[in-house]
Amino acid sequence: MKKIINNPSDFVEESIDGLIKSHPNIYALAKDNNRVIMRANKASKKVGIVTGGGSGHLPVFTGYVGKGFLDACAIGSVFASPSVEQMVSAIKNADSGNGVLCIIGNYGGDVMNFEMACEMVEAEGIKTKKVIVADDIASASEQEKSKRRGIAGMIFVFKIAGAIAETGASLEDVFNTATEANNNIRTLGVALSPCILPEAGKPTFEINDDEIEIGMGIHGEPGIKREKLRSANDLVDDLYKRIMEDSKLQSNDNIAIMINSLGATPLEELYIVSKRINENLSNSKIKNVKTYVGRYATSMEMAGMSITTLKLTDNLKKNLLAMSECPFWNN
């Protein structure tokens, strides 16, 4: 294992500390919990937007705290769910009296702990709603969408929910818009090599140098197909076809695209993917309103990438393109 770290057991706390020190105008540590990051300048008189999840995926989850995005985030250990207490702290620190929307990746521990946390704060008078993001089309069939994992598509939900919350919209309206975004996202990824967890010191899975795995999860969950490495165009065409079949996108639809590195895959390769995706969209007569290329949801140093589509309505487009303040997002 080669990593630029100190003691592996201090990995999460030191990375949080570094994030705050690097962007003190954006992030602050909650006074009541050292695993909760909140906005440096707490907003007032708006719906709070909260998420939480394991470390090892920056910018997800912590990086998306900021104006026009999240108000607070609970942070677990590497690839581990935050505790109920951490989630309660995040909700309370995000609340300004108008209720809190919790946006949750569809992982058992995250969902269970947020459900308990919401019950606890509601007993104290804080109104909450939950949106469970499930965009990974490899993890379950269209008939079982509720079982799908939440991956890079959740960032679109963060952004859109955060934007409409800034307008002073009600909790119900924020929930409805976030739900609309959640229903309109599809993601499919491919892994080329594993990552190594700091405290484990060994790869999360094994794969031959000439192999790839389509649909592998960001924690190394099994995908839908392991095969030999092939050209970028052939691979992108395959992923594109699968996403189009699942999303039912049609000509003249407006969409946004996210081409995301899982950690180690460089921008040059992502732009090769972007070139081919945009060619396919043009051939399908689908209008790409905006392309996002970069590291948005990672898995430590895993090599690979994911493609996310978001079908845009006028409401979703307006909130996606609204200005925000976040070091990991280009407006």
Give the catalytic positions in this structure: 57, 219
Q: How far is CA 164 from CA 87, 136, 260, 318, in A?
A: 22, 24, 24, 9
For residue 63, which of 329, 270, 268 has the smallest C-alpha distance? 329
Q: Is 127 exposed, middle or buried (0-12, 13-18, 19+ CB in 10 A)?
A: middle
DSSP code of residue 202: S
Could you give the CA distance from residue 293 to residue 274 in angstroms, rounded to a whole number? 8
DSSP 77-146: EETSPPPHHHHHHHHHHH-SSS-EEEEEES-HHHHHHHHHHHHHHHTTT--EEEEEE--BTTSS-GGGGG
End-to-end Cα distance, the chain? 36
Distance CA 289, CA 219 (A): 31
User: Do 117 and 88 meet the contact criterion of CB atoms below 8 Å apart?
Assistant: yes
* Separation of alpha carbons 95 and 28, rounded Å: 15
CA distance 215 to 187: 9
Residue 205 CB coordination number (10 Å)? 15
| Residues in a beta bridge with 287 | 254
Residues 129 and 150: their CA atoms lie apart, in Å, by 17
- Among the listed residues 300, 297, 80, the one whose alpha carbon sits nearest the alpha carbon of residue 205: 300
Going by C-beta distance under 8 Å and a sequence separation of 6 or more, which residues neighbour residue 78? 11, 12, 54, 55, 56, 197, 198, 199, 300
Q: Are strands 225-228 and 128-133 parallel, antiparallel or unpaired?
A: unpaired
